[in-house]
Amino acid sequence: MKLLISMIFVLFTHTVVAGKYSGCTDPQYISYVDKRLSFYEKLDKERYQKTQNNLSVNSLDNMDKKEVYSYQNVVLSARFDTKEIALNNIISYEKYQLTFIQKIKNAFAGNGDSLHNINIAKGWLALKSGNEDEAISYLFASTKTKGSPVLGSFGPDKTLIRELYKRGRKEAVLKYLDMSKSFWNTQSAENYMMVWRKMIKNNCAIQFQFYDTTSVEELGL
């Protein structure tokens, strides 16, 4: 009896969840994703400003987490700053990565974050200049990394593919995700990619966040 009740509850719950939206063209779903994407952008702007404030009183050598600098002061700078400022940040970080001590640290730590982040930043600059194809070239180049603990756990950058996907470049997004499997190959990564492939196939708006795993059920896919 308990088993029967449990099965009925599971089926009922699934039906409720799966029926939340009528499909990927449901205005409520599209509005929900738009709001989430705006929220992520707001958070990134705040993170970038916080990094700038930190760097105004601390040098890079005195900062505890260099990967934070790499992402927030390089990728986010390319998104939100002028081309001149963003390029200066990229060049400064590239020079820092070429220092002997940092090369030794990267070798021992298996740190491939810098190559990934620098190419994503250059991709953002290309996209902001109106060159989608160049942006995609940098997107693909960002996956030619040996990986790192951060990339292996949390995966590649999702900011650039959000914008490219909104512009209809879904084949490039699919290829990027596939190329990223060389360093992001956990079970959860495969689950995310399976969800995103399914959503891309159905032309759904996508957050490229873990929330998509719920959305795919709510859409009945």
Tell me: the pLDDT tens digits for 36-61? 999 999 999 998 888 777 776 666 55
| Rounded (10°) angle between helices 113-128 and 83-97 | 160
For 179, how many CA atoms within 13 A lie in the half-sphere containing its CB? Answer: 20
Query: Is there a domain that residue 3 lies in?
Result: no
Residue 191 falls inside a structural domain: no
* Alpha carbon distance 160, 4 (integer Å): 47
16-40: pLDDT as tens digits: 445 689 999 999 999 999 999 999 9
Residue 46 included in any domain? yes
Distance CA 21, CA 215 (A): 9
- Percent of the chain whose pLDDT exceeds 70: 77
Say if 22 falls within a structural domain: no
What confidence tens digit (pLDDT) does each residue in 116-145 have? 999 999 999 999 999 999 999 999 999 999
Name the domain count of the chain: 1
Q: Which residue range is the domain that position 48 belongs to?
A: 32-184
* CA 62 vs CA 58, 109, 118: distances in Å: 6, 19, 21
Q: What is the DSSP letter of 110?
A: T
Asked whether the CA dihedral 148, 150, 152, 158 is positive or negative, the reply is negative
One-letter amino acid for residue 165 of the chain: Y
- Tens digit of pLDDT for each residue in 163-199? 999 999 999 999 999 999 999 999 999 999 999 999 9
Give backbone dihedrals phi and psi of 97, rounded to 5 degrees, phi first.
-65, -20
Indicate whether 160 belongs to any domain: yes
**Residue 24 within a domain:** no
